[in-house]
Each structure stands twice: as structure tokens, then as C-alpha cells.
Structure 1
Amino acid sequence: MFSWITPDLIAIVWGMVKAIIILLGMVLTAAYMIWLERRLLALWQDRYGPNRVGPLGLGQVIADMIKIFFKEDWMPPFADKFTFVLAPFLAMSLMMLAFVFIPMTPNWGVSNTNMALLFFLAIAGLAVYAVMLGGWASNSKYSLLGGLRSTAQTISYEVFMGLALMGVVIQAGSFNLRDIVAAQDGLWNVFPQILGFIAWVPAALAVVHRTPFDLPEAESELVQGYHTEYSGMKFGMFMVSEYVGIVMVSGLTVTLFFGGWDAPLWFDRIPGIGAFLGEQIPFVWFAAKTFIFMAGYILVRAALPRPRYDQIMSAAWLWCLPIALINLLITGAVVLWRAGA
């Protein structure tokens, strides 16, 4: 009676279910990171955060979403309408698309491809078009300046972001993120690839336009940058895409440099709970390490001021690029030496 149900069909359906669960969970995590950011900023700055709507203010995110849904979605009459609508959709969808390549456990992930890291770099390059198109379509000089800044900043930092990751690829011998996690068994990449990690951190901040790399927005000088003219749901998509990017970049940092779902090297030695968490519930470690980096991004916003635009660009070419090149040179030399070449 159910002869049409084949193992291949079951695998396809189960893969779709996993993809929906992961992407919905990621969007919900990004939404509640807004609450987390406001609470942590309040804690570090010695003030109150959201604490009125629901327990611990958890209902504030829902209240904000309802407000955005009912807010007037105004479109400037002088804007290019199609591009104006397309930009926030691109911002949200590309950040979500980049997340599909990140494996959270040995068996849980949306996509498992041997070119996963290359796909991420390609999507990160496309994400700048959302900001650039939003700035251009608004037909506003403030928005246009924000879009131009974003283009220059992203192109600059993506150059050494790719170079910083090539050391990880050389060590693992693969662009597959699962292979990169497996290659860190016994020693996380953050130790042999410390120079690559130092170059990666500012590049990741620049890709998601987080403080102190939020020059495309720059409220103090460009009003609101590339989304000055946006309101309602379109503004909400731009805003949520930034937090989706933070979750995505934090997960990728854990995958590339901190062993992914692997437990800390000493934790497996704890009898009972150590082996259980390390082998039976690997998602616990991936989520815990990702949360630490998400909180770290918030701490950077709380602690560091925004530098001038020329200082940001100078740091990219005069410091980060040489560090990434030196790391690549040292990694290649060590790998060749170990191979006996």
C-alpha cells in the first residue's frame, strides 16, 4: 500500500525537515539576540534593560515584532521601487543562505558539500549588494554614501578574510566544514592558526557591519546610512539580517577555529557527564561556544568607540592583510616541511 515510500524519499523529506528546523531556529535565535544584546548592554553599562514585558523582558521581542508588522511601510516617491523592495529581501535571504553550510553536529546541518567554505565566501561577497542597492535605490545622498562606504569596506576586508581562512584549509586539506572540524581533533585551529584568527575577527565584524565596523550606518554622521529611507517590515528585515549575520559568523568561527561540536580537550576526561555531553549531545558544545562569541560581539559594541572611516580602511590594508599573508606563508611552509618536501 505504501510501496511509493522509498528510503530515498524518506531521506529527502527528513533532510527538508532538518533544514526547516535549523533555519527557523536560527531566525528565532537572531530575533532573541536583540533581547540578549539589550540585556547585556544594560548589565555592562550599569542600567536597566528590557524588564517589563514578560519574565525578564523576554516578551519585548514579540512586542517589537508586532509593532513592526503594524507600522506603516512607507516607500519614498523618489525611490526606485523594485530595487528598493529587493534590497532588504537580499540582505535577509543571503545571510540565511550562508548559514546552511555550517554543521552543528556530525549529523545535523542543512548542506554538506566539499565546497562549503567557498560558497560562504561567495555569499559574503554577494551580501554587499543588498546594502549597495538599498543605498542607491533610496535616491538619498545619506543612503548613497552609506552604500558606497559599505562597498569599499566589504571589498577591502573580504580580501584578507579569504586569505585568513586559507591557512585552515591548508591544514585540513579540504573546503568541507565537517572535514575541518574533524581535523581539529586533539588541537583546535585557534592555536596553530592564531594569526589567521586575529585577521578573521575584524573581517567577520566588517562583514556583518557591527560596531566598530558599522560605518555604512554611522548614525552620528549619515543619519541611518543605507536604510535611512526604510520603515516597517523592510527596515525590520535589514535589522534582523544583521543579527542573523552575527549568529552565522559566530557559528562559523566556532566551526573553523574552535573545534565545532567537539568538547574541550580536558572535558572528556570527566567521568560520566563529560563523555555524555561530548559524544551524545554534541550540539550542547556548539551552542555554548557560539553563544560565547555572540556575547563577545555585544561586548565589543559596549566597549569600543567607532573609529574614523580612514582608520578602518588603513587597518585593513596596513595590518590585517600583512598578518593574513604571514599566516598563509608560515602555514604553507610548515605543511611542506611535515610532508618532507
Structure 2
Amino acid sequence: MSDLRIAVLGVGIMGADHAARLTTRISGARVAVVNDYLTDKADQIAAGIEGCRAVADPLDAIADPDVDAVVLATPGPTHEKQLLACLEHRKPVLCEKPLTTDVESALGIVKREADLGTRLIQVGFMRRFDHEYIALKSMLDTGELGRPLVLHCVHRNPAVPPNFDSAMVVRDSLVHEVDVTRFLFDEEIVSIQIIRPAANPAAPQGLADPQIAVMRTASGKHVDVELFVTTGVGYEVRTEVVAANGSAMIGLDVGLVRKSAPGTWGGQITPGFRERFGQAYDTEFQRWVDAVRDGRMVDGPTAWDGYAAAAVCEAGVVSLNSGGPVEVAMVSRDSIPGA
């Protein structure tokens, strides 16, 4: 079978990483086309990949007859139009979160895909492919810990871009814990509250950081998340499940632990998301390529998962502004056959 010919749309930090990943670490695929609104950047990336060319218009890149599948690493506001084009041309697509930037358009994507009768959209929630999250999920599924009751999460970044605002803490950071909760517990989140502790003095003016998210699942499980995106320290993601017969924690970042004079103890903190989740991205992309090549098209989070995450985050932004708990408004999955 010949290599899958992939178009990478958006070759900023994430897209450039994905183009390099597909070129050097993923088997059965090659990057045939790249696109970016910064055409010089697209030309630069294309020049470094054998047999690759830059296409100026993203919709032309999707429609290109030399493209079998698409990776979307473009800004969220462009996703709806680009995903609809992928569906129109029946091309499998791995879409970095968010699916779209609002609940209504995300639901529209889910419905349009369901109308086709085949799943073509996979959403890039890469934590589902991380070895530690997979092990934790297996432990819960086998019942080793008994009934899970509580989920404690920590999500810390050393810094964020200058344009990062308070709502983006919910939409861009918390969204991962939203998907992790649904992945681990296999149920929907029904309410969310965002609490604003005292702000970090080092945070940019107007950025509410840290934030605390408190979520409740359909069966009553409690989830709390500390979100702190301007720590200035490192990248820390921890997840602890507390269950009837014990607890389990991942993300302790335990590599070399050093003890030395005079009485110091410690090790290294992961500097960024690439180092922490590099394996997860590689696994995610290899499994997606394999699924597309053998006709399954999707092997991971679906458009429905993207819609569900958008619905929770939308309620989270409402709570961020009101301070109180907000019910998550979602349609029933059963109401959309094939979703």
C-alpha cells in the first residue's frame, strides 16, 4: 500500500511539529501539501520536505487530488469551514482542538458527519494516547480500584502567549481535563463552576490566573482542576483518581531524584508540553494513519467528543463571568443517529 498523502493546514508551532512528526517518525504517510496564512512559512516548511509543496488556499489544499487526508492545526475560528470542506470531499481529518469555537457550529459538524453515514473526523485530544492515562483508564475499567468517586487534576504552564485571556484558560487549557474526565469515567459532565482565587501578581493585567474548576458528572462524580498557566516554573499535569478501594495518580514527573549537600532534594520539571506528551502525539498520529489506511478512518476522539468538550467549556466561560455553577446544555447523543 502506498503512503497516505497528507495535507497539513497551519504550520505554526503545532503544525510544524506535526509535519516533522509525519516526515520522520510516522510510517505509512508523507506530507504532500502544506498551507498557512503566512505563505513564507508554508514555503519554508515545504522546501524542507521531499515531494511536498505549499498551497496558498486551505480549501484548495483540502480539495487537492494529491491529498488523501488532512491535519488541521489552523486557528480555531477557521475549523468549521475547513471541516465542512473535508466532509464534502470525504477526506479523513485529524483536527486539533477545538472542533469549532462555539457549541452551535460544533453540533452542526457532528450532524453533518452523521448525515454522511461514516466517521471522518478525529479530534486531537492527545492525552488519550499517553501511556500513563491509558494505564489509569485500564485500572478503572478492570475495577481494580473499585468505584471511582473523585478526580483531582492540576494543569500548570510556565507561561502563555500575550493574547491569552481568562476565557482561554477554560477553552484552551481546561478543555483537556474535560476530555480526560469523559475518557476516564465514560460519562458526560453535567455542571461546572469556575472559581477565581487571588490572582498571580506575575500574570498579565486582566488575566484571571489561577482558576479552579469544579465539575460534576452525570452519576455524581466530583472533579476539581487547578489551572495555573503563568507559574514561571515548568509544565505540570497531574491526575489523581480517588475510588472506593484506593487511589492512583499519574503525572508525577518522576525521573532522576537527586539528594545532595547541603540538604537538597529534587529533580527536573518538564519544561513544556512537547516533552511531556511527545510520545502521546506520536502514538496518536501513527494510530490515525493506520486507521485511515485500513479504512476505519478514526481511531480516537470523535466529533461528538469535540462537541461535548465545547459544551462544557461554553458553560465554564459563563461560570467564569458569573462565579456560580452552570448546567451544561447538550443534546442527547441518541438524538443524532451515527454520532
TM-score by length of 2: 0.30
More helix, by proportion: 1
More strand, by proportion: 2
TM-score by length of 1: 0.30
| Greater relative contact order, per chain length (Cα 8 Å cut-off, separation 6+) | 1
Larger radius of gyration: 1
